Structure 1
């Protein structure tokens, strides 16, 4: 499994081990930072003992990473411009990985120390944006091309809208409970349950719902957040040992043929639309007055040559093991370039909606053998996140359970917030969108407090909002500064 270490220079192997350590440390911290939110309600409502809750949550986080796929992983990775991704094996690429991870870890530890439910997703995205912007400034690329802004906007919408949906839908679900089951014991807090009924735990069905929704929350958290670590480890592996990980060596013959067919289709598309595309490709304009990036490493005018060179290499290949290591790295660069230029062509105003849809489909085939993760990488991230879940949960549990509302949380409030959070994060996983477990659940709890007319504690809500607002600019600045220092003194 680790035979890729053989033959590596000492400093390269050291860089690889350090990079692994940084990524797994980030996931470990993510575990005890974010997963406290998954078990906050079930612990606070006395539905489960704390130790049992965090152990089960760790197990379900592990399973979530194991079964979650890699869609969110590469959604995060592709925030970076493709020129940085295809050249990640340079010193700049390694500086990028270490800088964004260091920035994310520092911010996560700071907010955890003060018990503020900040978002690890938010933190990581800000760090990626920071190194992307800094790389653009350092290399002379326009800031507009330093980041995949289309993907950044999609992720930004998911980060902004998911807490709003959490707030509104959790409040609405609690209102339904209050409207149709006004006398139910689910509307008691743990304190009133103990004082009036003399019982420590919630009623059976409420307790079962709380436990199941908490474990569901842990599973979707692992699926969403664990993938971010998977994506980062793949950046590290491709950067340091591209000969081994540039392509999925386990790709089937069918997957390789799909990739080859996509390249052939793109070649035919360029030939059929040569007259339409020629002016834009020659002048570097995309047809609506904006410039194609001058410093971009995958020139659109070279697409036909890139396709031709790629087909010469993989035309009769049935197994990527048949390719030399250096050739695999070149195939990966060609596929990423073709994917990126196809994406740019879809933005041309004169292109029909049918052509755009066809190009979007072939882009998935072009990257079918480059967007992957070995099983051992998934297991390593799953273990780091799962073990981290079992540490340091208490600070955030107290904040979510007691400090958001003016009154303690009722069983109905806990169920409402958790059910909505599971559905919201699960939907985000389906669409490969990273969201914040922290903000979805915290906003859900706040929504139930408003619906219950319990009121909100201004100081806690203010701290959460401040953390939400400051996370992006703080991590952008921190990651950009670290990246600049790394490239100035170590690259």
Structure 2
């Protein structure tokens, strides 16, 4: 096996490892609210999320094409594959660190940060305009939109059901959460599995095994199956943070948070092909619905730790990736 083919195999394997870590790291995005409100049992929620992740991963390619051709353009051959490999490992390392700490950081931004760090360290062509339009602006806007929409919709729900019996209303919303959790898991597959597809295509192009940004069917299926397997493996540490430590949710607030977050994920994937963070979106929506109770109901200290992880994600993953590239560079032709 020549060096280029060996590196392609290694990069594709590490990309699927990232996909798996993305699944168990971000499983909480789709199911934490439903589990915390007891709308679904943990096992039923995980199975539902895995199935909807699989379906969502097969519903589009816009985000994958942005990752595959819009972040960096590595050189052809072994050197370019080394750049992609360093970026991937930087993302995986950050995912594992934040999972161990129980912090819901963004796997998407870890991947983007890893590719950026390796790209800058290797003097690779970095598409700063695309990053500004499809990464930086959505990174700031999606949590703000999630918070505001969730707050506004929750106020409307509270007004609409103000005279309804509380327990009967909560039972109905608990049933509706099966739908909203499914929608959230579908959006997670639509967004996050596509990012792995994009990286695999990036490696195939650098290795000379593919042309353009189209996504081969085997890449779609591999990414979809692996992220579903990762989701099925669970993500209990982060689930506790999102589902209980930020705020104690009731079924109505859980339904609204999931519905708003899923809507933002679909809109950005289909209209803008923007790789936004499912973690940022659902967490900000949870904070939005929680604020309708009273501002002090949100545990802002925990929220502050989450925001700190958000801010650190891109530079931390970039630093790991850049360091790894500098280690690899002397042995790359």
The TM tier, using the shorter chain, reads over 0.9
Deviation for aligned residue 1:110: 0.6
Aligned residue in 2 for 1:166:
146
Residues matched between the structures, number: 330
Aligned residue in 2 for 1:411:
251
Q: Deviations over 1:158-178 (max 9, x none)?
A: 111000111111011111112
Q: Which of 281, 284, 293 does residue 452 from structure 1 map onto? A: 293
Q: Which of 14, 17, 26 does residue 9 from structure 2 map onto? A: 17
Deviation for aligned residue 1:10: 5.0
Q: Output the CA distance in 1 between the equivalents of 2:239 and 2:11.
A: 31
1:175 has 2:193 as partner: no
1:41 has 2:33 as partner: yes
8 Å contact 1:79–1:128 — kept in the other structure?
Answer: no
Q: Which of 125, 134, 141 does residue 112 from structure 2 map onto? A: 125
Q: TM-score by structure 2 length?
A: 0.94
> How do 1:115-264 residues align onto structure 2 when only pairs under 5 Å count?
115-136=102-123, 146-154=125-133, 155-184=135-164, 202-203=170-171, 205-240=172-207, 242=208, 244-246=209-211
Q: Deviations over 1:292-335 (max 9, x none)?
A: xxxxxxxxxxxxxxxxxxxxxxxxxxxxxxxxxxxxxxxxxxxx
- Alpha carbons of structure 1 residues 206 and 132: separation in structure 2 relative to 1, 3 Å: same
Q: Output the CA distance in 2 between the equivalents of 1:185 and 1:92.
A: 65
1:30 has 2:22 as partner: yes
- Alpha carbons of structure 1 residues 81 and 44: separation in structure 2 relative to 1, 3 Å: closer
1:440 has 2:298 as partner: no
Deviation for aligned residue 1:79: 3.7
Q: Output the CA distance in 2 between the equivalents of 1:184 and 1:382.
A: 42
Q: Output the CA distance in 2 between the equivalents of 1:94 and 1:185.
A: 60
Q: Which of 305, 308, 313 does residue 471 from structure 1 map onto? A: 313
The alignment yields a C-alpha RMSD, in angstroms, of 1.9
User: Which one has the bigger helix percentage?
Assistant: 2
- Alpha carbons of structure 1 residues 389 and 130: separation in structure 2 relative to 1, 3 Å: same
Where does the alignment leave 5 or more consecutive residues of structure 1 unmatched? 1-8, 140-145, 187-192, 247-369
Which structure's CA Rg is the greater one? 1
Aligned residue in 1 for 2:260:
420
- Alpha carbons of structure 1 residues 132 and 429: separation in structure 2 relative to 1, 3 Å: same
Q: Output the CA distance in 1 between the equivalents of 2:284 and 2:116.
A: 25
Where does the alignment leave 5 or more consecutive residues of structure 2 unmatched? none
